[in-house]
């Protein structure tokens, strides 16, 4: 055949409808499979294919080629482009599976993520994704794709959103070009020029201009990990490349067979090479993206009535075309599956584990393709005319409802069934005193936190008096106050104290880094009250008897256990008047092996470990367990150090894991007859935890109080402990 042929059957499976040549192009489905495999290899962390994300560039070219083919075919046959009917077909193609994956992801995040902020951010991103604008969410946040940490399970929806935006804009542009100057008889529905002859030349000229402008913008703005990665404006040229191929198809059929075969193999090699030679530092979608885009064009051109010995023969093999047919579902499912699997085992997946999960995703996608994706795309009722358009608002509405329900559940600060009421007489009092009564030190601090949270809710920005002091926070820590903490690898430490040697009363704090951050507070209390103050602190080793997952996996369990036993012996020997336990109880705990426990199992293990230690100190005069200090998902200092940042953006939720830890500690306290001091009002209000308290910066790092704020809390903590 001397001339290529573009035929589109709009009633067939949309992803297989385009024929460029003398028959169906099943090799295109094989090319989809190649692109998908490269993406999966990149997601699995296979270093040899670190730029496997170029598969996205391949998909964008194929989308431009396919959508333009459909529209040109309709314009030729009907002298019209029914945009609404076209969008209805695309909605049937994209939205059912996307909505299903988003709903499953939202439920899974609520079940598996311990961090309420991460649940909330996933819900927000899912809402943007349901409206096919997830890419703009990341763009407006200033997030580079490879800078988003931890990986969001809906992060990959940016590409679906870009494709959806192209699908919406492209038919409108083509319709406008073909509409201008067309002759229309009264009551005649032939409104536009056929895209042939001079009108085809105008189409090519305008589309080429759009593509060149987009490419220039991409080259100028793309940078390693930059936000240009997400923009439809910098990605449009990749779609245009596929579109121009459709418009130039008539000139491709006369190419000799050997030339087509060479082009197809060269193109396939170019796609794979792009995944190998580039890495995450390459400025996509700028100049480096030219390689996979042009390589994809070569494969498409080489397959136009190409010989069997071309790459099309390989790409048309049944396993590849089967994978290509299901590539959309596999792409949607793969990232949530990998993220949630890693969250469940609480560590990065190795290649074998990731491969097993990915094979499971392929199986799941085969099921959803057969039961959901294909039936909803081709079956009633949505395949009737423009009925499919209803899928857009339905998708957004359903996801919105689930998001609102999950947000309400998080904000409600759930507790565990059977939790005892607060039992400590030393719990920091709230502001219930009459207005004429001078506020207690605890009330002053708590009221400041509340005012800060209200300011955040009102949309206040972080003031310059805060941001100007961020540079000095590296030194504003407990480090200089704790020269005698137990070092890594050691099971003992020097025994140090603050205060007068002949003091009548003695207090001790015992725990991990969350105990260390209270040392400046208690040191100040000791200085003000004439107490002697000892500290027994070891980072990453708690005073609880629970088995810490990281310690087990790092072969430090015996070290932590030996240090804990030594510290307990030292404390019992000192027989202090007041013994304080402070820890980060949200760290992962394991059982008999080295697997992470479920949330309920973790809570029970923490309670048992705390009870063991509290009962060990049963003969001491007074033992107090501090509540869990909040640990946000991000470093609050990094958040504050952004230009024009809102206070609300850096305020985080206390979290279900922290709440569960407190409930477990209170139960252990109740059983052992010890005391419990709730420090939460000094850090949070209404389950919201700001990074500052009025003019004071609370944190020097994630979950770590600044020394200056810890010292400022001394009167409030002393009041809560009953020390005067």
User: How does pLDDT run across 234-267, given as a tens digit for each residue?
Assistant: 999 999 999 999 887 666 667 888 999 999 999 9
6: helix, strand or coil? strand
Tokens 């260390």 belong to: 516
Q: How sure is the predictor about 149, in pLDDT bands with cuts at 50, 70 and 90? A: low
Residue 543 pLDDT:
95
463-503: per-residue pLDDT in tens?
888 888 888 888 899 999 999 999 989 999 999 999 998 99
pLDDT value at 186 more than 90: no
Distance CA 675, CA 610 (A): 12
Query: Using an 8 Å Cβ cutoff, are 658 and 586 in contact?
Result: yes
The pLDDT score that the predictor gives to residue 592 is 82
Give the domain 461-721 fold. Rossmann fold (3.40.50)
CB atoms within 10 A of CB 371: 10
Residues recorded for the chain: 724
**How confident is the model at residue 76, as a pLDDT?**
86
pLDDT confidence of 295, banded at 50, 70, 90?
Answer: very high
- Percentage with pLDDT > 90 across the chain: 59
Q: What is the pLDDT of residue 494?
A: 94
Question: d(Cα 36, Cα 55) in Å, to the nearest integer?
Answer: 6
Whole-number pLDDT of residue 434: 46
Least confident of 15-24, 79-88, 151-160: 15-24
Q: Per-residue pLDDT for 431 more than 80?
A: no
Domain assignments of the chain as residue spans, ordered by start: 6-409, 461-721
Please provide residue 537's backbone torsions phi and psi, each rounded to the nearest 5 degrees: -130, 140
Structure confidence at residue 189 (pLDDT): 55
Does residue 424 have a pLDDT over 70?
A: no
Greater confidence (489 vs 180) lies with: 489
Q: What is the mean pLDDT of residues 80-91?
A: 91
- Supply 244's token pair: 């121009």
Q: Provide CB contacts within 8 A for 214, sequence distance 6+.
A: 233, 234, 235, 236, 237, 240
DSSP helix/strand/coil, 675: strand
Q: Cα 150–156–160 angle (5° rounding)?
A: 155
- The conformation of residue 499, written as its DSSP 8-state character, comes to S
pLDDT for the residue numbered 384: 67
As a whole number, mean pLDDT of residues 544-558 equals: 90
Q: Where does the pLDDT of residue 414 fall: very low under 50, low under 70, confident under 90, or very high at 90 and above? A: very low
pLDDT score recorded for residue 714: 95
Q: Cα separation of 37 and 60, whole Å? A: 15
The rounded distance, in Å, linking the Cα atoms of 378 and 571 is 73
Q: pLDDT band at residue 554, thresholds of 50, 70 and 90? A: confident
pLDDT at 184 (0 to 100): 61
C-alpha 592/C-alpha 56 separation (Å) is 43
pLDDT band at 409 (very low <50, low <70, confident <90, very high): low
Instruction: Give the pLDDT band (50/70/90) at residue 24.
Output: low
Higher-confidence position of 430 and 216: 216
Q: Is the pLDDT of residue 147 over 70?
A: no
Segment 397-403 shows an average pLDDT of: 90
What was the pLDDT predicted at 249? 62
Kindly give the interhelix angle for 599-616 and 557-574, rounded to the nearest 10 degrees.
30
User: Which is more confident, 5 or 324?
Assistant: 324
DSSP-assigned states of every residue in 500-542: -TT-S-EEEEEESHHHHTTHHHHHHHHHHHT-EEEEEEBTT--
Quick one: pLDDT band at residue 104, thresholds 50, 70, 90? very high
Distance CA(695)–CA(680), nearest Å, equals 19
Beta pairing, strands 506-511 & 532-537? parallel
Mean pLDDT (whole number) for 22-46: 89
A 10 A CB-CB count for 384 gives 9
Question: What pLDDT shows up at residue 411?
Answer: 52
Q: Which two tokens stand for residue 501?
A: 């040697």
pLDDT computed for residue 47 by the predictor: 85
Mean pLDDT of the chain: 86
pLDDT higher than threshold 80 for residue 536: yes
Nearest to 225 by CA among 275, 288, 277, 280: 280
48-52, 177-181, 329-333: which is most confident: 329-333
Q: What is the pLDDT of residue 635?
A: 84
Max mean pLDDT range (345-349, 386-390, 582-586): 582-586
- Given this model, what pLDDT does residue 154 score? 95
pTM of the model: 0.66
Of residues 150 and 112, which shows the higher confidence score? 112
Asked if 527 contacts 498 with a C-beta cutoff of 8 angstroms, the reply is yes
Gap between the terminal Cα atoms of the chain: 98
Coil, strand or helix at 487: coil
Closest Cα partner for 630 from 564, 699, 581?
A: 699
Confidence at residue 19, expressed as pLDDT on a 0 to 100 scale: 43
What is the rounded CA–CA span in Å between residue 237 and residue 211?
4
Find all residues with CB under 8 Å of 374, minimum gap 6, and list them. 13
Region 152-164 average pLDDT: 95
């Amino acid at each position: 055949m001397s001339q290529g042929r573009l035929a589109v059957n709009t009633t067939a499976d949309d992803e297989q409808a385009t024929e460029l040549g003398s028959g169906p192009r099943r090799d295109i489905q094989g090319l989809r499979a190649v692109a998908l495999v490269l993406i999966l290899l990149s997601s699995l962390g296979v270093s040899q294919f670190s730029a496997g994300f170029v598969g996205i560039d391949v998909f964008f070219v194929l989308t431009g080629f396919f959508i333009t083919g459909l529209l040109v075919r309709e314009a030729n046959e009907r002298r019209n482009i029914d945009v609404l009917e076209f969008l209805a077909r695309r909605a049937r193609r994209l939205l059912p599976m996307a909505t299903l994956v988003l709903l499953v992801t939202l439920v899974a995040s609520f079940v598996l993520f311990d961090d309420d902020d991460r649940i909330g951010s996933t819900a927000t991103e899912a809402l943007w994704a349901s409206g096919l604008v997830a890419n703009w969410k990341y763009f407006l946040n200033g997030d580079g794709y490879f800078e988003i940490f931890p990986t969001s399970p809906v992060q990959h929806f940016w590409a679906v959103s870009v494709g959806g935006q192209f699908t919406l804009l492209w038919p409108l542009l083509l319709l406008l070009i073909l509409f201008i100057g067309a002759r229309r008889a009264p009551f005649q529905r032939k409104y536009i020029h056929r895209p042939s002859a001079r009108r085809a030349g105008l189409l090519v000229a305008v589309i080429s201009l759009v593509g060149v402008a987009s490419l220039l913008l991409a080259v100028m703005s793309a940078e390693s990990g930059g936000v240009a990665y997400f923009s439809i404006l910098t990605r449009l040229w990749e779609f245009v490349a596929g579109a121009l191929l459709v418009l130039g198809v008539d000139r491709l059929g006369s190419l000799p067979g050997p030339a087509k075969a060479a082009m197809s193999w060269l193109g396939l090699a170019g796609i794979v090479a792009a995944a190998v030679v580039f890495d995450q530092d390459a400025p996509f979608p700028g100049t480096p993206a030219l390689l996979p885009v042009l390589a994809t064009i070569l494969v498409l051109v080489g397959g136009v009535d190409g010989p069997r010995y071309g790459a099309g023969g390989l790409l048309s093999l049944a396993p590849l075309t089967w994978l290509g047919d299901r590539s959309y579902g596999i792409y949607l499912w793969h990232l949530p599956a990998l993220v949630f699997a890693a969250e469940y085992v609480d560590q990065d997946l190795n290649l074998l584990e990731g491969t097993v999960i990915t094979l499971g995703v392929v199986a799941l996608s085969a099921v959803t393709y057969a039961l959901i994706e294909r039936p909803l795309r081709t079956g009633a009722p949505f395949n009737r005319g423009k009925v499919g358009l209803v899928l857009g608002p339905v998708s957004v509405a359903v996801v919105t409802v689930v998001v609102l329900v999950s947000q309400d559940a998080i904000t409600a600060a759930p507790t565990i069934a059977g939790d005892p009421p607060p039992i400590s007489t030393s719990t920091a009092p709230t502001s219930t005193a009459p207005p004429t009564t001078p506020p207690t030190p605890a009330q002053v601090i708590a009221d400041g936190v509340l005012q800060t949270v209200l300011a955040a809710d009102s949309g206040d920005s972080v003031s310059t008096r805060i941001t100007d002091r961020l540079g000095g926070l590296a030194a504003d820590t407990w480090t200089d106050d704790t020269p005698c903490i137990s070092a890594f690898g050691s099971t003992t430490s020097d025994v140090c104290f603050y205060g007068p040697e002949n003091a009548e009363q003695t207090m001790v704090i015992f725990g991990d880094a969350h105990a260390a951050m209270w040392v400046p507070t208690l040191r100040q209390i000791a200085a003000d009250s004439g107490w002697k103050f000892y500290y027994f602190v070891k980072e990453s080793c708690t005073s609880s008897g629970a088995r810490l997952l990281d310690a087990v996996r790092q072969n430090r369990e015996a070290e932590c256990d030996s240090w804990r036993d030594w510290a307990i012996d030292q404390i019992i020997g000192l027989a202090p008047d007041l013994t304080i336990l402070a820890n980060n109880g949200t760290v992962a705990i394991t059982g008999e092996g080295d697997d992470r426990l479920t949330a309920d199992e973790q809570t029970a293990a923490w309670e048992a470990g705390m009870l063991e230690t509290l009962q060990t100190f049963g003969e001491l005069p007074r033992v107090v367990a501090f509540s869990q200090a909040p640990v946000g998902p991000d470093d609050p200092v990094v958040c504050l150090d952004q230009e024009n940042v809102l206070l609300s953006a850096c305020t985080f939720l206390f979290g279900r894991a922290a709440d569960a830890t407190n409930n477990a500690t209170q139960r252990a306290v109740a059983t052992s007859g010890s005391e419990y001091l709730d420090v939460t009002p000094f850090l949070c209000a209404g389950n919201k935890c700001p990074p500052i308290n009025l003019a004071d910066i609370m944190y020097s790092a994630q979950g770590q109080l600044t020394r200056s704020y810890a010292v400022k809390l001394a009167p409030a903590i002393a009041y809560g402990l009953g020390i005067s």
